[in-house]
Structure 1
Amino acid sequence: MSQSPQISTPFGEKSTAAEVVRGVDLTGKRIVVTGGASGIGVETARALAHAGAEVTLAVRDTQAGARVAEEIGGSVLVARLDLADLASVAEFTSTWDGPLHVLVNNAGVMATPETRTPQGWELQFATNHLGHFALTTGLHGALAAAGGARVVSVSSGAHLRSPVVFEDIHYENRPYDRWTAYGQSKTANVLFAVAAAKRWAADGIAVNALMPGGIRTPLQRHLDESDLVEMQARVDEVGGIGWKTTEQGAATSVLLAASPLVEGVTGRYFEDCNEAGPNQPGSRKGVAAYALDPEAAERLWDVTVRTLA
Structure 2
Amino acid sequence: MMTSTRVSTPFTNETTALEVVRGVDLTGRRAVVTGGASGIGVETARALAQAGADVTLAVRNPSAGQEALADITATTGNDRILVAPLDLADLGSVAAFVANWDGPLHILVDNAGIMAAPEMRTPQGWEMQFATNHLGHFALATGLHPALAAAGGARIVSVSSAAHLRSPVVFDDIHFARRAYDPWLAYGQSKTANVLFAVEATRRWAGDGILVNALHPGAIRTNLQRYVSDEELERMRAQTGGTAGAGYWKTTEQGAATSVLLAASPLLDGVGGRYFEDCQEAGPNQPGTRTGYAPYAVDPEAAERLWQVSEDMLRD
Please confirm whether the aligned pair reaches a TM-score higher than 0.5, indicating the same fold.
yes
Q: Distance in 1 between matches of 2:242 and 2:134?
A: 28
**1:236: Cα distance to partner?**
6.2
Which of 203, 207, 216 matches 1:202?
207
Q: What is aligned with 2:71?
A: 71
1:1-309 → structure 2 map (5 Å cutoff): 1-73=1-73, 74=78, 75-235=80-240, 239-240=244-245, 242-309=248-315
Amino acid at match of 2:21: V
TM-score by length of 2: 0.96
3-state DSSP class of the match of 1:183?
Answer: helix
Q: Mind listing any 5+ residue stretches in structure 1 that lack a counterpart?
A: none
* Overall identity of the aligned pairs, in %: 71
Q: Distance in 1 between matches of 2:89 and 2:62?
A: 16
Amino acid at match of 2:89: A
How many aligned positions are there? Answer: 309
3-state DSSP class of the match of 2:240?
Answer: helix
Q: Distance in 1 between matches of 2:185 and 2:43?
A: 28
Q: Distance in 1 between matches of 2:39 and 2:239?
A: 20
Contact 1:212 1:249 (8 Å CA) reproduced: yes
Q: Distance in 2 between matches of 1:162 and 1:69?
A: 36
TM-score by length of 1: 0.98
Q: Distance in 1 between matches of 2:243 and 2:32?
A: 31
**1:77: Cα distance to partner?**
0.5
Contact 1:44 1:250 (8 Å CA) reproduced: yes
Q: Distance in 1 between matches of 2:110 and 2:119?
A: 23
Amino acid at match of 1:64: A
Give runs of ≥4 in structure 1 deviating > 4 Å. Answer: 236-239
Contact 1:238 1:283 (8 Å CA) reproduced: no
C-alpha RMSD of matched pairs (Å):
1.0
Q: Distance in 1 between matches of 2:183 and 2:110?
A: 21
Contact 1:24 1:51 (8 Å CA) reproduced: yes
Contact 2:242 2:277 (8 Å CA) reproduced: no
**1:239: Cα distance to partner?**
4.8
Q: Distance in 2 between matches of 1:258 and 1:232?
A: 29
Q: Distance in 2 between matches of 1:83 and 1:98?
A: 22
Amino acid at match of 2:65: G
Q: Distance in 2 between matches of 1:127 and 1:237?
A: 26
Q: Distance in 2 between matches of 1:257 and 1:290?
A: 24
Amino acid at match of 1:207: V
3-state DSSP class of the match of 1:200?
Answer: helix
**Cα displacement string for residues 75-96 of structure 1 (whole angstroms, at most 9, x for unaligned residues):** 2100000000000000000110
**1:233: Cα distance to partner?**
1.6
Contact 2:218 2:242 (8 Å CA) reproduced: no
Q: Distance in 2 between matches of 1:159 and 1:202?
A: 28
Q: Mind listing any 5+ residue stretches in structure 2 that lack a counterpart?
A: none
